Structure 1
Amino acid sequence: MRTIHRERLAQLLAEGGGVVRRSEHPELGPVLDRLLRTKELTTVLLGIYAPAGFCADLAARMAAVAAWNADAVVVGRAAAAATYWPDIRFDRVDIVLRVARKLRSMDFRLHRRTIPVDWIRELRVGTRTVRVSAPALTAVELAAELGGEPIDTVLRTRQATLDDMRSALDAVSGSRGNGARRRLLWESRDTPWAESERLAHQLLRDAAILGWTGNEKVVINGHTYFVDICFLRLKIAVEIDGRDHQRDITTFVRDRERQNALVLAGWIVLRFTWQDLDRHPQRFVAQVRAAIETASRATAVNKR
C-alpha cells in the first residue's frame, strides 16, 4: 500500500469530519478495502467509512449523515446534542428523509417524513454541511418523550423562545403526541429553566399566588442577574436549587454572588431545594406567602 494513498486518506478524513465517502474517491478503493479487512476502518453507512471507534464521536456521525445523503435531516436527541444540549445521552442518530431509502445500521435510525425548511439548520463538520432540526422544533418534538426537560433546557440556553416552539409545533401539526406537547408548552408559559422551577411554578399557580415572573432579568449596579422566580414590585427573589445544583461548582458560586447582590440591594431572597418542593410543598407556599406579607408591609410603611 503506497504511503501517498495513506496520507491522502488521512487528509480526507480530517477534512471530511472524520469520514470518507467511497464514491467521491474511487482511486482509494484498494486502500479502503485493505483497511476495512484489517478493521482499521469501519463502515458507518453504506459507502461511508471512518476509523474504528467512531461511534463515540457525534461529529463523525453527523459528518457520516451529510456524506450519505445531502437531503437527510438529523432530529431528536442527536440534533439536541449538536445544537443546544451537549449533555443529552443518545444511542442512535435519528434521521429524517422525505423518500424511503435502505439503511442498515445499529447506530442510525431512519424516519420517512418531511421537515419544513424553515425549521432546518445547517452545521459545518469539516468540509461537509449537515442538516439538523432547529432547536425549537427539536425541543418540542423531544418533549413527547422526555417531558418538560427539553423545553426547559432550550429556554435556559436561550436557543429558542416559547413563541419559537409554538410556531414549530404549528409547523408539524398532526404529529402524534402534539396534545402532550401543547400541554407542556402551556405549563412552560412562565419560562422555567429546570424541572425544579417547573414544579415551583405549578405550586404557586395552585396556591393562587400571583404577581411573579420566571427568570426575570434584574440589573443591580450594572450587573445583570436572572432571578428564578421574581416578585419585581416587592423585590422578592425565590431561588430554586435543582437536584444536581451542588455538583456544579460554577453554578453554586454564581448563585451565591447573585444572592449577595440582591440582599445588599434590599431584596428578600428565599432559597429552596428540589427536596423542599417535592416533600414539603405546603411549607414552600407558606414561606413565599410570608415573604409577600413582609415585603407588602415594608412597602406600605415606606409610602407613608
Structure 2
Amino acid sequence: MKLSKQLRQFALERDGVVTAAEADVHGLDNSALRRLVGSGDWVREAYGIYRLADHPVTPRSTIRIAVLRMGGTAILSGLGAAYWHGVANSPPATVTVTATPGGHVKRVPGVRAVRRRLDGRDAVERSHLMVTGLPLSVLEGAVEGDVSVLDRALLLRRVSERQLRAVYDRRRGTVGATAMGRLLEGVGSGARSSAERLTVGLFESAGITGWIANYSSGRYIIDFAFVAERVAVEIDGMAYHRDADAFQNDRTRRNDLIAAGWTVLNFTWNDLVNHPDDVIARVVAALSAAASTQV
C-alpha cells in the first residue's frame, strides 16, 4: 500500500512514528493500518502507535513511543527531556514522564511516571512532542543523571543562572526541589565556599581528620591538605566557570604539586553531590597508601 507524500513526511518529522489518530486524519482507517502492518511497511509498536518499517529505531523514536504510550497529556521530563533538548549526550535507560494528577496512570516498561502539575512556562512543544522547558529539563536532568548536563547547558549558554533560579523558585516545595537547590549552590558566586562546606561535611561524617583547609605549599594554596601524608584534595569548579587559561593553570598546578611529592585528588561538584561515598573511599585509600609507605 503506497503512502501519500504528505503522510510520509508527517511521519519522518516525528522520528518515523505515527499514531492511529494521526493516520486517521490522513485518511487511513483501522483496516488500512492492518494492511500496512501485514505488508511489512509499518510496524505496530504499541496499541495505536506505529513506526515506518524503513525508519530505524533510534533513541528519539524510542523516547517518543514511550511518551505516546502514556497518553495524550504526558510530558517528557528529566534526563530524557534534557536529551531531547540536546544538552545530554546520552538518552536515559528509564524515561521520566509527567502525568496529570488524578486518573489512571499506565504502567509502561522503561517509563517512570511522575504525577504533578507544571507551571505553563515549564512545558513546551519541541519536534512535535510535549517536553518540560529547557531550564527545568536541565535541572531535573542533572538531578536524575549527571551534573554535566547542567554544566554543559551553561557552557553552551543554552540557559542562564537567572532562568535556572526562576524555575527552581517555581518548583520549591516539590519532589526533587531540594536536590535542585544543592546543584544551584555550585553555580553561583558562592560555589567555592559551598563546595568547601560540603567537603568538610563529608570528612566529618566519615570521621576523616588531620586535614588543613587552604594550606600553603610553595606558591599554591591547597584546598584540603593532609600534610603528614602529603595528600592534597582539590575541588574543581564547573567547566563553564573556567576559560582556557584557567584550565591550563589547573594542569600546571597539579603537575607542580605532584612533583613536590603530593598525591593529588581532584573532585568536582558532581562528585561531592552525587558520589560522596566514592569521594570518601578515594581519600581514605590515598591516606592508607601514604601511611603504609611511611612505616
- TM-score exceeds 0.5: yes
Counterpart CA distance in 2 for 1:159 and 1:227 is 17
Q: Counterpart in 1 of 2:16?
A: 18
Counterpart CA distance in 1 for 2:187 and 2:68 is 34
Q: Counterpart in 2 of 1:238?
A: 246
Counterpart CA distance in 2 for 1:191 and 1:88 is 30
Q: Using structure 2 for the length normalisation, give the TM-score.
A: 0.58
Q: Which runs of 5 or more residues in structure 2 are unaligned?
A: 201-212, 216-220, 224-236, 267-295
Distance 1:96 1:106, change over 3 A: same
Q: Counterpart in 2 of 1:95?
A: 97
Deviations 1:48-70 (A, max 9, x none): 21134754241574388479855
Q: Report the AA paired with residue 246 of structure 2.
A: V
Counterpart CA distance in 2 for 1:20 and 1:214 is 41
Offset of residue 280 of structure 1: 0.8
Counterpart CA distance in 2 for 1:64 and 1:145 is 18
Counterpart CA distance in 2 for 1:88 and 1:191 is 30
Q: Counterpart in 2 of 1:33?
A: 34
Q: Report the AA paired with residue 14 of structure 1.
A: L
Contact 1:103 1:109 in 2 (8 A): no
**Could you tell me which of 72, 75, 78 is aligned with 2:74?**
72
**Identity value in percent:** 21
Contact 1:48 1:68 in 2 (8 A): no
The CA RMSD measured in Å over matched residues stands at 4.3
Offset of residue 37 of structure 1: 4.2
Q: How does 1:75-86 map to 2 (within 5 A)?
A: 75-86=77-88
The SS at the match of 2:172 is coil
Contact 2:63 2:80 in 1 (8 A): no
Deviations 1:248-288 (A, max 9, x none): xxxxxxxxxxx7xxxxxxxxx45359998995159xxxxxx
The SS at the match of 1:114 is coil
Contact 2:66 2:111 in 1 (8 A): no
Q: How does 1:59-208 map to 2 (within 5 A)?
A: 61-62=63-64, 65=67, 71-99=73-101, 100-103=103-106, 105-123=108-126, 125=127, 129-190=128-189, 206-207=213-214
Distance 1:272 1:161, change over 3 A: farther
Contact 1:54 1:61 in 2 (8 A): no
Distance 1:103 1:33, change over 3 A: farther
Offset of residue 79 of structure 1: 0.8
Name the count of aligned residue pairs: 223
Contact 1:55 1:61 in 2 (8 A): no
Q: Using structure 1 for the length normalisation, give the TM-score.
A: 0.56
Q: Report the AA paired with residue 125 of structure 2.
A: E
Contact 1:44 1:105 in 2 (8 A): no
Contact 1:191 1:214 in 2 (8 A): no
Distance 1:190 1:152, change over 3 A: farther
Distance 1:145 1:214, change over 3 A: closer
Deviations 1:208-229 (A, max 9, x none): 879xx97789xxxxxxxx626x
Deviations 1:224-259 (A, max 9, x none): xx626xxxxxxxx431xxxxxxxxxxxxxxxxxxx7
Runs of 4+ in structure 1 off by over 6 angstroms are: 213-217, 273-278
Counterpart CA distance in 2 for 1:163 and 1:70 is 32
